[in-house]
Amino acid sequence: MRNIIFLGIIVLLQACSSSAVKESRPNVTSSPSGAAVYANGLKLGVTPLKKDLFKVFPTSWNNWKLSASGVLVLKKQGCKDYTLKVNDAILLKPVHAKLKCGLKPVMSEEAPSPPPQAVTPQKLPVKKKMSKLEMRLNELTRLYKKGVITDQEYRSTRKRILDEI
């Protein structure tokens, strides 16, 4: 019994130490290191970088799912910019950029503007919350198009819903 408890403590300590090592690793790295990291045009720091990227990238509703989105750019003097379109799946694992270097110097101290396809928080469409009436009418139309209800049932129910206004 004593051996089982001892073994359990060892396993627990190993799990704690491995999770502490995992958390302390940088989540944005580059080869070569020392690249400037930008999130949607805002400079975060240089690689290797430890940053909670879920706090940096805005979340928005996409197909009824809340998810992070944006563009991550790494810049280094003499290297081609590394651009990555970000989503939840990308943010769950470390990002490593292999920069193509040996080019003419192209980096400026100014933050790069996000590519045209990047969505900024100000430009996100605001989805209006559907009223109960709209939801009922949408459900009724869906049932009618599926053939679950007849034309007469659709018309009478629609009239009854609209009469409640």
Does residue 113 share a domain with residue 63?
A: yes
| Cβ contact 75:45 at 8 Å | no
Overall number of domains in the chain: 2
Does residue 74 share a domain with residue 36?
A: yes
CATH code at position 83: 2.60.40
Does residue 112 share a domain with residue 57?
A: yes
Does residue 153 share a domain with residue 89?
A: no
pLDDT of 75 higher than 90 = yes
Q: What range does the domain containing 143 cover?
A: 132-163
Residue range 42-56: average pLDDT?
Answer: 86
Reported as a single tens digit per residue, the pLDDT across 89-130 is 787 788 899 999 886 555 555 555 555 555 555 555 555 666
Does residue 76 share a domain with residue 33?
A: yes
Cα–Cα dist 6/12, whole Å:
10
Does residue 79 share a domain with residue 159?
A: no
